[in-house]
Chains A and B, each alone.
Chain A
Amino acid sequence: MMRERVTHLGAVAANRIEAVGSMTRFGGLILAAVARPPMRLNSLVREIYDTGVLSLAIILTSGLAVGMVLGLQGYNTLVRFGAESSLGAVVGLTLIRELGPVLTGLLVTGRAGSAATAEIGAMVATEQMDGLRLMSIDPIHFVIMPKAIALMIVMPLLSALFIVLSIAGGYLVGVQLLGLDGGAYLSSLENNVSFADDIVGSLLKSWIFGALVGLIATYRGYMAARNAAGVSRATTSTVVTASVCILLFDYVITALWGV
């Protein structure tokens, strides 16, 4: 009984390690595809539109809502210590350093990452990828690479928009609703946010999350079983794996570089 459990555990661990190796190799193939002409600029622009522009509504709405909640909670907490004039810094730093990149990563995973997996998985199931291979067109170069690169490009941009809208949401609640001085809100934000440490770090974090979501979403789709259930499983797996990876990498990046 004990021996069977250990054997099972070993098999599970070996499978996981093999999957990580396979995903890393897949990432290498994407990078190699980037360096190989043609550039696929039209596909890239279309993917940026699909993953970026079509995600704007959910990113902007969520950003505004998160900022309003942060403004309300922050004001109610800070007012106990007579420090409500620091609301701008609290809202800004929380969003720029942490919540902006992480929440944008999770939202993009749910919207664009899952869509990328489903589309690629459906192409695998309906033999479209095989059709490309038969025409000697590399599916990684033609389909996968533009999707993965588009996610890497749009993630920092969406995160920046999320943060701007959130700060505006905090301003709306703190200044317009609760009567805090507008100048105090903005000056505390300006005085406490460092471009080099906070903003560049935030964009770097988003870029890493974009690369993670791009890799996981495309890999899961490409490896999906050739049926509807397989595509469904791959899509779920993308959302779960990418979300957990974003949270884990967030800790690692913060611990290593203090971003």
Chain B
Amino acid sequence: MTGSVDSSSTTPAAGEASVALNDVCLSFGDRPVLNRVTCSFPTGAVSVLMGGSGTGKSTTLRVIAGLVAPNSGSVRVAGREIVGLREFELATTREQLGMLFQNGALLDSMTVFDNIALPLRERTDYSEEKIRSEVHQRIEAVGLADVDDLLPGELSGGMLKRVALARAIVLDPAILLCDEPFSGLDPPNVLRIEALLVRLSKQLGLTVIITSHHVESSRRMGEHVTLLFPEESLSGTTAELDALGDPRVAEFLGAAPV
């Protein structure tokens, strides 16, 4: 499948996964982080990437985003092989990507409005009026109001994630990467973010890839789950994974709900 699409293409071929990793290895110094990881994430679905601490979930997202280059293997994003591309060559692929970082990664010195407007100001030639309207649409989409002039330091954890999400979707990406979107949130906020991601995926046709430790959330929202183990990865729906009868899956996902 991965060899059938031209490497300069920026849209996946019909039936092709939005993101596909094949035999990806990555080490930081002498420490191996990703060991022959092979997995793919279907277009337009919410996929959850799970695994124990240190199995490389966040690193996998960073590899998909082109923020870290693997030592070997193939990474196809939106139909394009990104391994070996230089920073400026990644720009066309990154136009299709949005990323919600674990701590938001909002610029401390900028207000909420300016943070969300930043990609529009830098990457488009929209007028300030159009930018204002786009930003307010996204703020509304993530369920916030009257936050324009606040600084990231003045936001609660849940608000910060939602503002970061608004920035991640402001350029209408095809693929949304979310690194631990539920970490540090209370149960109501987990449910709120969870509903928001599912709604955005359905409304905008987004391919959403989430790394998470939250088993309940993954069962509720994950149409497709990938479990990363040190030696291999397993993918499927939660029902398919439960049906494998693999003790590692049972240990990680717990007993299947009756």
* Co-complex (A, B): yes
Which A residues are within 8 Å of any B CB, using their own CB?
122-123, 126-128, 130-131, 133-138
A133-B67, A136-B123 known; A128+B108 contact, CB < 8 A: yes
Inter-subunit contact B123/A128 (CB<8 Å): no
| B179-198 vs A, Cβ < 8 Å mask (1 yes, 0 no) | 00000000000000000000
Measured CA separation A138–B123 after assembly (Å): 12
Inter-subunit contact B103/A126 (CB<8 Å): yes
Contact of B67 among A123, A128, A130, A138 (CB under 8 A): A130
A-B contact pairs, 21 of them (CB 8 A): A123-B107, A123-B108, A126-B105, A126-B108, A127-B101, A127-B102, A128-B105, A128-B106, A128-B107, A130-B62, A130-B101, A130-B105, A131-B105, A133-B67, A134-B65, A135-B94, A135-B119, A136-B95, A136-B123, A137-B118, A138-B87
Q: How far is the CB of B239 from chain A (nearest CB, A)?
A: 33
Inter-subunit contact B103/A133 (CB<8 Å): no
Give chain B residues whose Cβ lies under 8 Å from the Cβ of A126: 103, 105, 108
Give chain A residues whose Cβ lies under 8 Å from the Cβ of B95: 136
Contact of B97 among A130, A134, A137 (CB under 8 A): A134
Which B residues are within 8 Å of any A CB, using their own CB?
62, 65, 67, 87, 90-91, 94-95, 97-99, 101-103, 105-108, 118-119, 122-123, 171
Contact of A134 among B67, B102, B106, B108 (CB under 8 A): B67
Q: Which residue of the partner chain B has the closest CB to A46?
A: B109
Q: Which residue of the partner chain A has the closest CB to B173?
A: A134
Q: Which residue of the partner chain B has the closest CB to A129?
A: B105
| 14 additional contacts (CB under 8 A) given A127-B101, A137-B119 | A123-B107, A126-B105, A127-B102, A128-B105, A130-B105, A131-B99, A131-B101, A131-B107, A133-B87, A134-B97, A134-B98, A134-B99, A136-B91, A137-B118
Measured CA separation A131–B103 after assembly (Å): 11
Measured CA separation A133–B105 after assembly (Å): 11
Across chains A and B, which 9 residue pairs bring their CB atoms closest together, nearest first?
Answer: A131-B105, A127-B105, A136-B91, A135-B119, A127-B101, A134-B99, A136-B94, A137-B122, A128-B105
